[in-house]
Amino acid sequence: MTRRRMSTSRVIRAAMPVLCFLAACPAGMAQKLEYAPLEKSAVLERTKDVPASDSLRAARMRDLFADAGCNGRFLQEQPSSSGEPNVICRLPGESDETVIVGAHYDASAASQRPFDNWTGASLLPSLYQSLRQRKRHHTFVFVAFADHGTDLAGSESFAGHMSSSESRHTEAMVNLDALGLSPTKVWASHSDKDLVHSLVIMVYSLKLPASQIDMETAGATDSEPFAARHIPRITIHSLTRQNLEGAATPFRPNNYYDTYRLLCGYLAYLDVTLKPRSSVE
């Protein structure tokens, strides 16, 4: 990501929830963001003891969402062609305008992909928790996709079951790929420029590291079925050039937690800045 000079705000941290006052925002007026990031130890705990099979991973995702407070009709499963379900947690907002946050939970079996996306999927419940403490304008839908290797079975099933109305009211799809291998990365060439711009604002505001690495060589990603339905999308990951060339690198907890903090602020920022697409098209 090209770093350019731009006005940023001071991030003021008080007691939980964190209050972030952004002096620079697209409309030129201050926006107050409220979100409650978890302690580092709680976020990292969800990355441990990774289930070996996809069926066990689906069950673990249900448990993690439930532990985060997502229960009842807000926690659902959706069949997919992979044989395992998408695990869906809904955080209802004041409107039907929706932001989808997704990551696939399947175990990688490809030798050219020597990293596991459990770190992306297991972050979803922590992101849900960071936003649930206050009423949101947008409805947030957190989806653990039941992909199978390079087959986007889970995201294709989810997008394929969206009605035309649901597609029109989805303002953004935030796709998380493998996280914690390095500082935050964005796949800019496969991301909506306005969503990337919003991420840059939060990078500068929170003073957290991020850069651009496109990942065409890694194959298709879960944002593709949504892009095909003209839904703005962004892919956030941590893959390095080494990873894209087939090398394994260790999980870095500090980088992972930094990405979590950035995503907490980013989702809260999107909630107050995204406009209905029908009003801007």
**Mean pLDDT per 10-residue segment, the chain (281 residues):** 31 32 38 88 95 94 98 96 94 97 84 69 98 95 89 93 95 95 94 97 96 78 94 95 84 97 98 81 50
- pLDDT at residue 268, rounded to an integer: 97
Q: Please give the model's pTM, rounded to 2 decimal places.
A: 0.87
Q: State the chain's maximal CA–CA distance in angstroms.
A: 49
- pLDDT at residue 21, rounded to an integer: 38
CATH number of 18-280: 3.40.630.10
- pLDDT at residue 146, rounded to an integer: 93
Q: How far apart are CA 201 and CA 206, in angstroms?
A: 9
Which residues neighbour 116 within 8 Å (Cβ) at sequence distance 6 or greater? 50, 107, 108, 178
Neighbours of 207 (CB within 10 A): 9
Q: Which two tokens stand for residue 120?
A: 């992306």
- pLDDT at residue 12, rounded to an integer: 23
- pLDDT tens-digit map of 15-61: 233 434 343 444 433 357 899 999 999 999 999 999 989 999 999 99
- pLDDT at residue 107, rounded to an integer: 85
Q: Which two tokens stand for residue 141?
A: 């839908």
Which residue type is seen at 267? L
| Secondary structure (H, E, C), 42-84 | HHHHCCCCCCCCHHHHHHHHHHHHHHCCCCHHHEEEECCCCCC
Q: How far apart are CA 118 and CA 206, in angstroms?
A: 25
